[in-house]
Structure formats: structure tokens, C-alpha cells
Amino acid sequence: MECDHEQGKTRLLTTCPACQKKIFLNQILQVESKKLKEESAGSMITLTMIHGTKPNRHALTLFIDNNMKVRGTQVSSAVIVSRK
Ligand SMILES: [Zn+2]
């Protein structure tokens, strides 16, 4: 279990409904920090990621508000990964 002492960056956002893995804020910020901030100004943003490992990969979409709170999650198992 990870500590939560660094509030903010390691904040638990949500749990993946498909594989039950926890998703932390810093995992998302590594990917799209600038873009997220730009897009989240004023409205909700959606972020889709390929989650999980083979053969259980799934597309996980997070609906995040401008306070970086996850308002909803959606999982699609119909994922085509075009890169290896
Ligand atoms: Zn998952």
C-alpha cells in the first residue's frame, strides 16, 4: 500500500472498474500534465488510456473535473493497440 503523505500528486483518483487497479494522480500527470491543465480550464475533460496488461488490456476513460476529481469511469474491452 502506498503512503498518501504527498497530498496531491499521489492522490488516489479512482479504481479501475475492469481490473481493480488503483489509479493515482501522478500516473496521469506523467502522461499529459500540460494538456490536462489546458483542457481542464473551466470544464470537464476526458482522458482515455490503455490500461492493464496483456491479454487483459482495456481502454479506460476517466471523466475528470477541473479539481482533478474523477466524476466517472468507462471501460471498453474492445481495444485495438496499433503499436507494439
Ligand atoms: Zn484497468
Measured in Å, residue 65 CA sits from the centre of ligand 1 at 20
pLDDT for residue 30: 57
**CA 49 distance to own-chain centroid:** 7
Question: Residue 9 pLDDT more than 80?
Answer: no
Grid cell for residue 67 = 479539481
Residue 40 banded pLDDT, cuts 50, 70, 90: low
Specify the 3-state DSSP secondary structure of 33.
helix
What ranges do the domains of the chain cover? Answer: 12-76
**Alpha carbon of 50 to ligand 1 centroid (Å):** 8
Under the banding of pLDDT at 50, 70 and 90, the label for residue 3 is: very low
Arithmetic mean of pLDDT, 17-36: 76
Backbone torsions φ then ψ of 9, nearest 5 degrees: -70, -40
Dihedrals φ, ψ of 34, to 5°? -65, -45
